[in-house]
Copies of this chain bind each other. A is one copy, B any other.
Amino acid sequence: MAAMARAATTTDAFNAVAEPRRRQILDLLSAGERPVNDLVAVLGLPQPLVSKHLRVLREVGLVDVRDVGRQRVYCLNGRHLKPIHDWVKAYEASWSRRFERLDDVLEELKDQEFKKKED
């Protein structure tokens, strides 16, 4: 039982959405549920490949399936995207308020300088 060389894709949502085609699938499903062949047609990918990606998404809980006749209708289940959102959201300041924050720091320094002079 050697050490795992890599975290399995099937393990968490972070890995699942690291694959561009899987994001594409989720994007399609965000507009509404769809049977596999629909996705195949839109994506222009071989059906087995699409099924495999759907499997990964299913295993991390990002999509749900429903049987309708001989079709399998997939639908988005965004619940497991929330952890990703929460994680990146914490970094929002690092891009949107990057310079603002720098300004804040400078402002603070100026204040301290001012107080020193008051002494």
Q: CB-CB < 8 A to A77: which residues of B?
A: 94
Query: A82-119: contact bitstring with B at CB < 8 Å (1 yes, 0 no)?
Result: 10110111111111101000000000000000000000
Give chain A interface residues in 52-92, CB to chain B under 8 Å: 76-79, 81-82, 84-85, 87-92
Task: Verify if A15 is at the interface (C-beta below 8 Å from B).
Answer: yes
For A92, the chain B residues whose CB sits under 8 A away are 78, 85
15 A–B contacts from the bound complex (CB under 8 Å): A7-B18, A14-B20, A14-B23, A15-B18, A17-B87, A23-B87, A30-B90, A77-B94, A78-B94, A81-B88, A81-B94, A85-B88, A85-B89, A85-B91, A85-B92
